[in-house]
Amino acid sequence: MMPIALTDAQMREVMAAARLVPTHLRSAFLEQLAAELRDREIGDGLVHRLAHDVVRRISWDSERTAVVG
């Protein structure tokens, strides 16, 4: 798998979003975000939007599993 090139600002955005995810789910967050970014033209807005979309999905799945579990 090829690495995804991010600017310093984009990397800061990813790290800020990752802090919103529980520690035990951060690797899943990064994997999902990388899958979303793969094969796209990456810009600051896209990184921000996708990072926060993935945070919401991971948080939603985590909360739903805790309630059902």
Please indicate, yes or no, if residue 65 is contained in any of the structural domains. Answer: yes
Please indicate, yes or no, if residue 30 is contained in any of the structural domains. Answer: no
Q: What is the pLDDT of residues 8-61, one digit of tens each?
A: 999 999 999 999 999 999 999 999 999 999 999 999 999 999 999 999 999 876
Please indicate, yes or no, if residue 63 is contained in any of the structural domains. Answer: yes
> Residue 55's pLDDT is what?
97
Amino acid at 17: A
Torsion angle of C-alpha atoms 13, 15, 20, 25, degrees rounded to 10: 130
Rounded to two decimals, what is the model's pTM?
0.83
Q: Is 47 exposed, middle or buried (0-12, 13-18, 19+ CB in 10 A)?
A: buried
Q: Is-contact 39 2, C-beta < 8 A?
A: no
Range(s) of the domain holding residue 63: 42-69
Please indicate, yes or no, if residue 57 is contained in any of the structural domains. Answer: yes
What are the Cα distances from residue 8, in Å, to 5, 14, 22, 27?
Answer: 10, 10, 23, 20
